Copies of this chain bind each other. A is one copy, B any other.
Amino acid sequence: MKHSSGILSFCVFMLLIVLSADARLAAPSSAPRAPARTPSFEDVKILVVYYSLTGKTEKMAEAVAEGAREVPGVVVLTKRVEDVTKEDLPATDGIVLGSPVYYANMAGPMKSFIDGWGLRFNVYLGDKVGGAFATGGERTGGKQHVVVSLILAMMNNGMIIVGPTHRQGNVRFGTFGVSAQTAPPDAGIGESELSEARKPGMRVASVARRLKPGADEK
């Protein structure tokens, strides 16, 4: 359960944030950075994990992290899929996964990371909150199948799933995730895509905060 991580893994989490060169606690350096603060027990911790070869999915991951940080009391850790450690997973309250499309599914390294939940990390992610995003060059190449696949993987480890929500005039609705087209006719990752990517970050963080005992009272 989410409380089982305890002080030890929390300290590891802190250390990671403070020391690790791979860990990215905050906004990309070009973005305005939130004032440094010391995470506390009650902080809601969101982990954004992505695979990226060309940097497009990484840009989206950073926007997801930005969205999560907009929720008060939330700290965000953004990691490449190969950098995630055994300690990162139990310490988190919410996880957002992102991958490019390779043959209508997530990239192999993301799939191997997920398999590692059982094979390497032996971790149960029950009641943590999850969301997903994908990038791809083709209009019908499988971006949405990537999002669905990431959702199903998280559900099979007991997670609670949310997508971003939207408002158009008086109409409110949701989507099951975010997918960005990275090749023509779309112009690639621009402000429109980044703005969409902030939403699942915000939603995952917000629902994780509501579900975390003690987090609402701050």
Contact = CB atoms under 8 A, between A and B. Distances in A.
Contacts of A142: 144, 152, 156, 176
Nearest to A206: B127
Contact of A105 (B111, B140, B175, B181): B111
A185 B175 contact: no
A189 interface: no
Interface stretch (A57-65, A69-77, A160-168): A160-168
A9 interface: no
A156 B178 contact: no
A205 interface: no
Contact of A143 (B144, B151, B155, B211): B144
Contact of A114 (B105, B126, B156, B207): B105
Contacts of A105: 105-106, 111, 114, 149, 152-153
Contacts of A163: 140, 155-156
Given A147-B140, A174-B126, A104 B153 contact: yes
Interface residues of A, number: 58
Contacts of A152: 103-105, 142, 145, 148, 176
A114 B192 CA distance: 29
Interface string A119-131: 0000010110000
Contacts of A192: 185
B141 A157 contact: no
Which of A126, A161, A165 has the most chain B CB atoms closer than 10 A to its own CB? Answer: A161
A66 interface: no
Given A111-B111, A126-B165, A160 B160 contact: yes
Q: Which 8 A-B pairs have the closest CB atoms?
A: A104-B152, A158-B174, A108-B112, A144-B144, A155-B176, A103-B153, A111-B111, A161-B161
Given A112-B112, A151-B161, A151-B176, 15 more contacts: A102-B118, A103-B152, A103-B157, A124-B173, A126-B172, A126-B174, A127-B207, A139-B179, A139-B196, A140-B147, A140-B163, A140-B175, A141-B156, A148-B148, A185-B192
